[in-house]
A = this chain, B = another copy of it.
């Protein structure tokens, strides 16, 4: 019911992308998002090796005949994963959409461009977006201060970041960070984006492969219940507030080096957290948008509702405010 450059580029029914999320971006969620009309996104590095990614792409294909993509996150590392091999698996699989994150993406973007795979580059600043555009990205997913995980160090929220990016970029923009409902989708389109990217909201769906404890914790929380950890190491991450995140912040205030903090920071969204549902004894990510999440719907119910609500806002509420008389 909504047609934008995002829906046109990927042949999807709804202008909503499920952003790449380590561990969560597997076939169950991705196929559910794509079947509901959005663009699901596997995460390459959730799979232990490139062959496993090929198998996960094939498994997703058995669960949906709609378009989906793969996230490839390039992080600085002493012993990096075999990024080029993951990339080649994506290209050879015939997937037509990829979400890139991180620096040093030039070779990968070239390869995707040559293979006709459309590249959505996700970043948190206008200057990085401009660099990605120059490298050949097809769209920018611009991620505001609201977001879960890594918001960067500039702290610019979407209300300013999205139009600032739209002013300077020639390629289309997807708005990311702080989106959960039809109001947000309509606002993103007004600000100049062609659709929205959601992460936290998709974690709180029936199909997300997360222990129900995490989903219920996100329903219960207000927008104020996240913490920004690792700022003192210039690697800021927005996580759900719990006793561990508070302890990390206390240590950071005391000037503790990262080596002293790292042992505390067990990620809870890995295999162990999924099995135990323990929300307190480690770190897990959640965006400020948890304040707008009040239920655990299926992806189909969620995406139908978001688009119907945005449609109603655009054709009803906003249209009703238009006054033909001159001001």
* A binding-site residues for B, Cβ under 8 Å: 1-4, 13-14, 37, 125-126, 144-146, 154-161, 163-164, 166-167, 177-179, 181, 183-184, 186-192, 222-224, 228, 288-289, 291-292, 304, 307, 311, 313-315, 317-319, 321-327
Q: Can you give 14 contacting A-B residue pairs, CB < 8 Å? A: A144-B159, A145-B145, A156-B223, A156-B224, A156-B291, A157-B158, A159-B187, A160-B223, A160-B288, A163-B184, A164-B292, A187-B188, A314-B322, A318-B318
When all copies of this chain in the complex are counted, the total is 2
A321 touches B191 (CB 8 A): no
Residues of chain B lying within 8 A (CB to CB) of residue A314: 190, 314, 318-319, 321-322
Knowing A292-B164, A319-B319, say if A159 contacts B186 (CB, 8 Å). no
**5 interchain residue pairs of minimum CB distance:** A157-B157, A186-B190, A159-B178, A187-B187, A13-B327
Residues of B within 8 A of A187 (CB): 159, 186-188, 190-191
* Shortest Cβ gap from A157 to chain B (Å): 3
Q: Tell me which of B291, B307, B323 contacts A1 (CB under 8 A).
A: B323
18 more contacts with CB within 8 A, not counting A145-B145, A157-B288, A160-B223, are A1-B324, A1-B326, A2-B322, A125-B224, A126-B222, A126-B223, A154-B223, A156-B288, A159-B177, A160-B288, A164-B223, A183-B192, A187-B190, A304-B327, A314-B318, A314-B321, A314-B322, A315-B322
A1, B159: Cβ atoms closer than 8 Å:
no
Interface centre among A155, A188, A321 (most CB of B within 10 A): A321
